[in-house]
Amino acid sequence: MSEIGMETIAALSTPPGSGGIAIIRLSGAAAHTIASRIFDPWPSDPDYFHLYLGYIYDPDSQQKLDQVLLTLMPVGRSYTGEKMAEIHCHGGLYNSKKILSLLFSLGAAAAPPGEFTKRAYLNGRLDLTQAEAVISLIEAESEAGLAAATAQLAGGLSEFVNKMLIQINQILAAVEVEIDLLAEEGLNYSQPEVTVSLQELEQKCRDLLASYQRGRLLYSGIKVVLVGRPNVGKSSLMNALLVEDRALVSTISGTTRDVISASLEIGGIKVELSDTAGLDENMAADNPQAELEALGMARTKEWLEQAELVLLVLDQSQPLTDFEVELYRKIRDKPHLLLLNKQDKAPAFSESELRRRFVYEGEILGCVGAREQIRIDAVVAGLAGFIETQTAVSGDTAVMISQQRHYNLLRMVSAGLTEALELLKTGAPPLDMLAEELHQIRFCLLAITGAESLDAEGLLDIVFSQFCVGK
């Protein structure tokens, strides 16, 4: 692990502002030396990973600034792989800024976003998939997202990809040996074992590609959009699901004129719930609020395009309209659920009429006046069922992908495997072409973990620019 060419960096690793404790990190060859110049009493023979109680002082004025805890880490055993020091000072924006200013005056440089994790990658402490898992871990907003990020950080995806690499390397070695031997001795080339191995790899690649949608939903959550005519109870339903008054509710049609969003967790998955302006086919042109309502409905249509699940809310106490039938036709190609609201009132249409006019055979959820919690559990169960089908994972959650970068590279791997298998179907496959395909597959697999890249510096800039300062 080399620190040559890397300046010593410092940054606040906890959120800025008031708090009980703030942690300042130092990493680089001079980390311990710089820390020794502002910490008193400095231990004569410091132990690594030991917390030392002392004071931070200004070496020029000798003024004590704060009582802190200090810990030191050696090369090869720290997060970055470099010498590191951590100062645990009292929280407070001014206090931590003052200590950082001292560190900068003694030669430390301000760490750019993600620099600590970037150094961990460059020093072999993490591969690129694990480094990407760090940002996913920091940004996780649900139990499932946290679990998936933790599993990837532990190396689950890396191990899976590396096993694929071992297979490709073995096949490639065999093919290249055959190229040499065929030219020299005219040996017969046997294809069955290579074909079977490539078919196994193709299936693994397909499984991993199929996990992308699940993985993305585990990390990012599911966007659920409530849609329907005005005053069918969408806002009441949203408030009931959130168990709080997030959306304004009234008996006046068109109360919601913009999209209102809030998040909750169902089955360990983040659900971003959005209440939209009611869609009304009978909006009067002379209505003084017509322009505002039209803008609200335009926003509703935009959000429908982005929705991963549409919850169409219908007021069963009012007759089913042709407009609602047409609205359903517009959303039926997207994942959707139907909800009959206000079932505590006399029904104006039956479920059988709904199924006939919508040509619908799926589940119909029911709700009694959504302001009440009496039957809201049925709605939650319906959402939970949908989420379960979308995020069901066979096997370990570590072996899935959620990053677009991984998905793009695996598609290239899949295409290469398909091409290699097509070459093997010929009676006498051109082994030089087969070897070239295998080399491309190998390169893409290495690029996933960051071991190879056509533009290594550009790739690292993209990945680590997503991090916060101090990580």
Domains along the sequence of the chain with CATH: 9-126 (3.30.1360.120), 139-216+397-450 (1.20.120.430), 229-306+323-371 (3.40.50.300)
Are the CB atoms for 265 and 271 separated by under 8 Å?
yes
The pLDDT score that the predictor gives to residue 186 is 43
Question: Per-residue pLDDT for 455 more than 90?
Answer: no
The pLDDT score that the predictor gives to residue 182 is 54
pLDDT range class, residue 18, cuts 50, 70, 90: confident
Are the CB atoms for 186 and 273 separated by under 8 Å?
no
pLDDT range class, residue 78, cuts 50, 70, 90: very high
**Mean pLDDT over residues 399-408, rounded?**
88
pLDDT range class, residue 297, cuts 50, 70, 90: low
CB under 8 Å to 18, separation ≥6 — which residues?
Answer: 91, 92, 93
Question: Per-residue pLDDT for 254 more than 50?
Answer: no
pLDDT range class, residue 252, cuts 50, 70, 90: very low
The pLDDT score that the predictor gives to residue 222 is 87
Scan for tokens 């200013």, then name that residue.
101
pLDDT range class, residue 288, cuts 50, 70, 90: very low
Question: Per-residue pLDDT for 21 more than 60?
Answer: yes
The pLDDT score that the predictor gives to residue 306 is 82
> Strand, coil or helix: what is 220?
helix
Question: Per-residue pLDDT for 290 more than 60?
Answer: no
The pLDDT score that the predictor gives to residue 413 is 96
Q: Which tokens in the block code for residue 323?
A: 């407009």
The DSSP secondary-structure symbol of 47 reads P
Q: Which contiguous run of DSSP H or E holds residue 69?
A: strand 64-73
> Strand, coil or helix: what is 310?
strand
**Of 294 and 292, the one with more pLDDT:** 294
Closest among 429, 379, 405 to 136, alpha carbons compared? 405
Question: Per-residue pLDDT for 14 more than 50?
Answer: yes
Closest among 271, 363, 283, 353 to 320, alpha carbons compared? 353
pLDDT range class, residue 236, cuts 50, 70, 90: confident
**Of 468 and 232, the one with more pLDDT:** 232
Highest mean pLDDT among 74-88, 111-125, 228-242: 74-88
Highest mean pLDDT among 3-12, 376-385, 430-439: 430-439
**Mean pLDDT over residues 364-368, rounded?**
78
Closest among 207, 213, 215, 154 to 410, alpha carbons compared? 207
The pLDDT score that the predictor gives to residue 397 is 44
**Of 426 and 223, the one with more pLDDT:** 223
DSSP codes joined into one string, 89-128: EE--HHHHHHHHHHHHHTT-EEPPTTHHHHHHHHTTSS-H
Question: Per-residue pLDDT for 223 more than 80?
Answer: yes
For 339-357, how does the pLDDT look when each residue is reduced to its tens digit (9 = 90+)?
Answer: 888 888 899 999 999 999 9
pLDDT range class, residue 187, cuts 50, 70, 90: very low
Question: Per-residue pLDDT for 249 more than 70?
Answer: no
In Å, how far are 20, 164, 219, 389 from 213, measured between CA atoms? Answer: 40, 21, 10, 11
Q: Which contiguous run of DSSP H or E holds residue 364?
A: strand 364-366
Question: Per-residue pLDDT for 118 more than 60?
Answer: yes
Scan for tokens 């910490």, then name that residue.
39
The DSSP secondary-structure symbol of 363 reads -
The pLDDT score that the predictor gives to residue 282 is 58
User: What's the mean per-residue pLDDT of the chain?
Assistant: 83
For 61-73, how does the pLDDT look when each residue is reduced to its tens digit (9 = 90+)?
Answer: 999 999 999 999 9
Question: Per-residue pLDDT for 446 more than 80?
Answer: yes
The percent of residues in the chain predicted with pLDDT above 70, rounded, is 82
Closest among 248, 207, 212 to 231, alpha carbons compared? 248
- Residues 306 and 381: their CA atoms lie apart, in Å, by 23
Question: Which of 12-16, 266-270, 310-314, 317-321 has the lowest average pLDDT?
Answer: 266-270
**Mean pLDDT over residues 160-187, rounded?**
77
In Å, how far are 104, 124, 239, 255, 335 from 260, measured between CA atoms? Answer: 45, 45, 11, 12, 21
The pLDDT score that the predictor gives to residue 190 is 62
Q: Return the exposure string of 426-444: e unless at least 16 CB atoms fall within 10 Å of the residue's CB, then b.
A: eeebebeebbebbebbbbb
Q: At what angle do helices 456-464 and 115-122 cross, to 10 degrees?
A: 140
Taking the model in full, what pTM does it have? Answer: 0.71
> Strand, coil or helix: what is 269?
strand
**Of 34 and 273, the one with more pLDDT:** 34
